[in-house]
């Protein structure tokens, strides 16, 4: 279902998104890539913590073309429908858009079935809404219905695979967060009982999908020490390669029955809260000196584009759940323009292509290493606290700072 010029423009646009993600996030930690099917029709069934930044992140690490489901109200005008359609975005109407719009979903599901017949991939956010929180909301029936229709289609049958996808961010409303992207084992038709009534199928399917997503999503216990849990989760996701696993274990310790483990975990959370510790890294003189050199360059070189993009994101979203998405998209377009302008200004002053390339490359490198430089400076300045944090982490997780 890819046609010219889509089959030319889409790969370019995907590479552009990948490049922006490389600079936007301090790090993206991807797991489960071996679970991604090489061929055949696929439903990507994902949680939805961060508006349309989520599909942009998934696009960066899923190497096949994707059709994206988005809420129907954004297709309000003919121009919007044409543009979104060109970007492979298709409407799904929820109860929030009004029950009178539900019949329009028939054409969307028909389109998806045709895409599956050509081994296409459809991304659907199974919660049906987005909030900036560490939570897994109740799954709606859209994913289950689409799977049911496809598995009962003669042209697709058992070929369709459901790939659960979980996304966990270390923070919101900030550039340079750490994102954890997980692809869980696929759900196949054979994983569910045969010949179920459709309503029962929807329930059983959602139970299995929820189980897979819960395995990989960090979910706060909303009944105990919410603030301290949020501090712990943000710290662990930001600073640990296995941060998702450690964050889930920390929540279990606070919610569990062991008073000793709960007290140790709360003590650690209060320590990093009291000392305002957001970073954890083994401090070194070399890292500190590199940070002192790079960080000012990053501020100077990137002050203009970052200020413009943050201003646009703030004015248009007022720091709601769309802030990160708008910030990413403004950087997607404004930052390349800035780099080209920087190159043009430099060459007009120096009359040297080599110097212009060097300055532009330095700005890019400084943007990428800005957060690492800040991390090195802060960890070195708090090296006494870093030793305490390291000791407390070993006591909590018995594996130091894996």
- Give residues with Cβ within 8 angstroms of 144, minimum separation 6: 201, 202, 203, 205, 206, 209
Q: Indicate the SS3 state at residue 200.
A: helix
- Give residues with Cβ within 8 angstroms of 35, minimum separation 6: 163, 183, 184, 185, 186
Which tokens is 176 given? 């340079």
Q: Omega before 5 cis (within 30°)?
A: yes
Question: Going from the N-terminus, what domains does the chain have, and what CATH number goes with each?
Answer: 6-216 (3.40.1130.10), 226-279+385-397 (no CATH), 285-381 (no CATH)
Enclosing H/E stretch for 45: strand 42-46
Q: What span, in angstroms and rounded, lies between the C-alpha atoms of 350 and 136?
A: 55
Q: What span, in angstroms and rounded, lies between the C-alpha atoms of 109 and 104?
A: 9
The tens-digit pLDDT sequence of the chain (402 residues) is 545 466 777 888 899 999 999 999 999 999 999 999 999 999 999 999 999 999 999 999 999 999 999 988 888 888 888 888 888 999 988 888 887 888 888 999 999 999 999 999 999 999 999 999 999 999 999 999 999 999 999 989 999 999 999 999 999 998 999 999 999 999 999 999 888 899 999 999 999 999 999 999 999 998 889 999 999 999 999 999 999 999 999 999 999 889 999 999 999 999 999 999 999 999 999 999 999 999 999 999 999 999 999 999 999 999 999 999 999 999 999 999 999 999 999 999 999 999 999 999 999 999 999 999 999 999 999 999 999 999 999 999 975 334
Q: Indicate the SS3 state at residue 152.
A: coil
- Give residues with Cβ within 8 angstroms of 381, minimum separation 6: 288
| Contact by Cβ (8 Å): 339, 363 | yes
The reported pLDDT for the residue numbered 49 is 97
In DSSP terms, 267 is beta-bridged to none
């Amino acid at each position: 279902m890819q046609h010219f010029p889509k089959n030319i423009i889409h790969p370019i646009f995907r590479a552009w998104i990948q490049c922006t993600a490389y600079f936007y996030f301090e790090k993206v930690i991807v797991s489960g890539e071996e679970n991604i099917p090489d061929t055949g029709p696929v439903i990507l069934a994902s949680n939805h913590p961060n508006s349309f930044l989520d599909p942009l992140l998934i696009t960066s690490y899923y190497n096949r073309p994707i059709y994206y489901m988005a809420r129907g109200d954004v297709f309000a005008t003919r121009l919007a429908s044409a543009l979104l359609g060109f970007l492979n975005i298709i409407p799904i109407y929820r109860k929030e858009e009004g029950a009178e719009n539900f019949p329009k979903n028939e054409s969307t599901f028909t389109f998806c079935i045709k895409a599956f017949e050509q081994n296409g991939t459809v991304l659907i956010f199974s919660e049906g809404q987005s909030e900036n929180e560490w939570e897994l909301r109740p799954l709606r029936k859209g994913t289950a219905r689409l799977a049911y229709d496809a598995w009962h289609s003669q042209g697709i049958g058992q070929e369709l695979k459901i790939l659960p996808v979980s996304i966990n961010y270390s923070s919101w409303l900030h550039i340079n967060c750490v994102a954890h992207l997980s692809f869980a084992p696929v759900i196949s038709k054979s994983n569910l009982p045969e010949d179920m009534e459709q309503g029962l199928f929807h329930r059983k399917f959602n139970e299995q999908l929820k189980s897979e997503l819960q395995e990989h999503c960090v979910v706060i216990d909303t009944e105990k020490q919410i603030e301290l849990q949020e501090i712990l989760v943000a710290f662990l996701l930001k600073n640990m390669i296995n941060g998702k696993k450690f964050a889930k274990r920390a929540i279990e310790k606070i919610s569990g029955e062991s008073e000793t483990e709960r007290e140790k975990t709360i003590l650690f959370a209060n320590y990093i809260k009291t000392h305002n510790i957001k970073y954890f890294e083994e401090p070194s003189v070399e890292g500190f000196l590199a940070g002192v050199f790079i960080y000012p360059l990053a501020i100077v070189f990137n002050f203009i584009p970052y200020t413009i993009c943050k201003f646009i994101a703030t004015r248009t979203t007022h720091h709601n759940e769309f802030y990160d998405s708008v910030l990413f998209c403004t950087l997607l377009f404004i930052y390349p323009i800035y780099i080209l302008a920087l190159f043009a200004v430099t060459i007009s002053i120096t009359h040297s292509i080599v110097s212009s390339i060097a300055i532009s490359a330095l700005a890019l490198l400084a943007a990428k290493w800005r957060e690492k430089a800040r991390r090195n400076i802060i960890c070195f300045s708090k090296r006494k606290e870093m030793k305490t944090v390291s000791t407390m982490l070993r006591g909590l997780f018995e594996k130091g700072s894996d």
